[in-house]
Amino acid sequence: GAMPGLLLGDEAPNFEADTTQGRIRFHDFLGDSWGILFSHPRDFTPVCTTELGRAAKLAAEFSKRNVKMIALSIDSVQDHLSWCKVQGWGTAGAAGPAALLQRPGLELLKFRAGSQTSTQPLTLCPCAQVFIFGPDKKLKLSILYPATTGRNFDEILRVVDSLQLTAYKKVATPVDWKPGDSVMVVPTLPDEEAKKLFPKGVFTKDLPSGKKYLRYTPQP
């Protein structure tokens, strides 16, 4: 994987790297935002090209959620810039990463694997990974895709919405949850406290066992 040994809850390595927006240090780049790091096998691959185009179109959605995007590939910054040029990204009226590179948003990153400035080396495999970091710089979610399967950006937005909601409220999101659906009250919260916390009401789903542990409330 792109971040060997990085588990959920671990802090992101504070690596330094050259990007198409100049040199960055990862923690400074994140600041108090959420962050998504996408790894790509390499530039000019058809699947990655469709993904970056989609990421660019969704830039406003990510920005509304206080999420910064950064993409990582094995190629040099020079290659990234030619890739953008070949795609016509950043030319008048064309949506694409280059349009975003001029403002905080999607950045294409070249990381020198094993450089001394990082706390651990990042190595790339022929696969695509998604890492989502919280403002505390800790890894909240990671998904690994084979290089032949493009990522689902609707799902990435959905998990960001769930991560942000559950980070700040004592709820969890059930299977196939979408923003606006009811959410589940976390099991550690006593009923009395749940009633105070969720004025819209708490309801339980009846189970054959008669147990009342599936507690739902409208999305707070």
Rg, C-alpha atoms of the chain: 20
- Give whichever of 32-41, 91-100, 181-190 has the largest mean pLDDT: 181-190
Q: What is the mean pLDDT of the chain?
A: 75
Give the confidence band of 117 by pLDDT, cuts at 50, 70, 90: very low
The pLDDT of residue 28 is 92
Give the confidence band of 38 by pLDDT, cuts at 50, 70, 90: confident
Q: What is the mean pLDDT of residues 43-72?
A: 78
Q: Is the pLDDT of residue 126 over 70?
A: no
- Give whichever of 1-5, 13-17, 88-92, 161-165 has the largest mean pLDDT: 161-165
Please give the CATH superfamily to which domain 10-152 belongs: Glutaredoxin (3.40.30.10)
The pLDDT of residue 87 is 53
> For tokens 């993904």, what's the residue?
51
pLDDT in tens, 77-105: 565 556 565 555 554 444 434 323 333 34
H-type alpha helices, 40-101:
46-57, 59-64, 77-87, 97-101
Q: Per-domain residue ranges for the chain?
A: 10-152, 171-217
> For tokens 């909601």, what's the residue?
165
User: Which range has the worst mean pLDDT, 31-35, 133-137, 201-205?
Assistant: 201-205
Let me know if 64 is exposed, middle or buried by CB neighbors in 10 A (0-12, 13-18, 19+): exposed
Name the DSSP class of 10: P
CATH 3.40.640.10, applies to 171-217: no
User: Which range has the worst mean pLDDT, 48-57, 107-116, 196-205?
Assistant: 107-116
Give the DSSP per-residue string, 116-173.
TTSSS-----SEEEEEEE-TTSBEEEEEEEETTS---HHHHHHHHHHHHHHHHSSEE-
Contact yes or no for 143/129 (Cβ under 8 A)? yes
Let me know if 152 is exposed, middle or buried by CB neighbors in 10 A (0-12, 13-18, 19+): middle
Name the DSSP class of 103: S
User: Which range has the worst mean pLDDT, 55-59, 147-151, 206-210?
Assistant: 206-210
Cβ neighbour number for residue 133 with a 10 Å cutoff: 25
133 versus 7: which is more confidently predicted?
A: 133
47 versus 122: which is more confidently predicted?
A: 47
Q: What is the mean pLDDT of residues 136-163?
A: 91
Give the catalytic positions in this structure: 48
Q: Is the pLDDT of residue 204 over 80?
A: yes
